[in-house]
Amino acid sequence: MGMNLGIIGAGAIGNVHADTATRAGIPIAGVWDVNPAKGAAFSKKHGTARACASVKELLAMKEVDAVVVAVPNIDHAQVACEALEAGKTVFLEKPMALNVAECDKIISVLERTKGRLQMGFVSRSTPASRNVKHFIDAGTFGNIYHMKCSLYRRRGVPGLGGWFTTKAMSGGGPLIDLGVHVIDLSLFLAGNATPQRVSGVTYANFGRRMKDYVYTNMWAGPPKFEGVCDVEDHATALVRCAGGLTIEVNVTWAMNVDDKQMANGITVFGDKGGCFFPIFGKQFTIATEAGGKVADLTPEFASSNVEHDAWDEQYRMFKALAEHGTPAHADAAAGRRVQSVLDGIYRSSAEGREVEI
């Protein structure tokens, strides 16, 4: 008997989950959203059996085996814990929570209930990421000593004045929104490296100007100039890991640089090989050596839709986790590990010094 899915949060990311579940042949049995009209529209669009009036109602549905938690960051910990208590397999969207303390609450409930949880770290499962991981594990890169990860947007502050830019609800700006992806992927590629110390700085130069912020588009809803923007719009950091690995992190929501000229992706530095790859790209080249000469290796991998492939791989593993208890695509320990880096960068910036993680 296959699993039936409940989706908590009918926003943009909830709809991506629904589309992916449909491609995977997973029935969507229920949905809830804080806005009942959105929940009803979602139900109609995706053929969901029930638009629930509360999270509690959805979690009480016996036919729901697994749930997606796709609500604002402030609610991640509470909803994930409630779902685990209800015996559901949980797909928890990134970030895991607002801070490490909340991650620990989730892990405590997970262990006590002997539950199952998968983190939404989709960048791990793109074709490029999976291929780079394959060559790293095969020894092609040798010892990886440094990684550089970057995600830049020229004018990409989401829903200015809404929950994304309200620290109490989101936990931060592009660092917790975008940085979470590249930090997790870097640690994952390096064999789940253990971060130990971090030196970071965050900047707030654009969004906090509110009405003076110039933008070309506004995803996550129109600007609410009467709202709040108390988060950063740029973060940079150096993370030191056990064994000597260092990871450089650069993320922005807004900047006065042409983002088309900036390298968005991961650069891997190894003593036998290295490469830069765009996470959602279709090709990369490994710079290495052969026969006493420098050489390039360009792996071939076919993908007609990179984004679908990445999401479908996540769901393949989530389905296996829910039905058979096989390892999660990214587990709770990975979610906490990334959160510890995020917390460290924010603390380092506030204190103006390198801090222990």
Residue 24 CA from chain centroid, whole number: 21
pLDDT of residue 1: 56
Q: Is 68 helix (H, G, I), strand (E, B) or coil?
A: strand
Q: The whole model's pTM is what?
A: 0.96
Task: Show the tokens assigned to 275.
Answer: 């490469």
What does the domain layout of the chain look like in residue ranges? 5-123+309-331, 126-304+338-356
Amino acid at 74: I
Convert the pLDDT of each residue in 239-256 to its tens digit: 999 999 999 999 999 999
Ranges of the chain whose pLDDT falls below 70? 1
CATH architecture of 126-304+338-356: 2-Layer Sandwich (3.30)
CATH tag, 5-123+309-331: 3.40.50.720
What DSSP assignment string belongs to 113-148? HT--EEEE-GGGGSHHHHHHHHHHHTTTT-SEEEEE
Q: Are strands 50-51 and 28-32 parallel, antiparallel or unpaired?
A: parallel
- Rounded distance between C-alpha atoms, residue 5 and residue 12, angstroms: 17
pLDDT of residue 140: 97
pLDDT of residue 49: 79
Cα distances from 14 to residues 45, 102, 132, in angstroms, run 12, 22, 29
Fill in the DSSP letter of residue 72. Answer: -
| Amino acid 182: pLDDT | 98
Q: What is the pLDDT of residues 63-94, one digit of tens each?
A: 999 999 999 999 999 999 999 999 999 999 99
Sheet holding 5-8, edge to edge: 50-51, 28-32, 5-8, 66-69, 89-93, 117-120
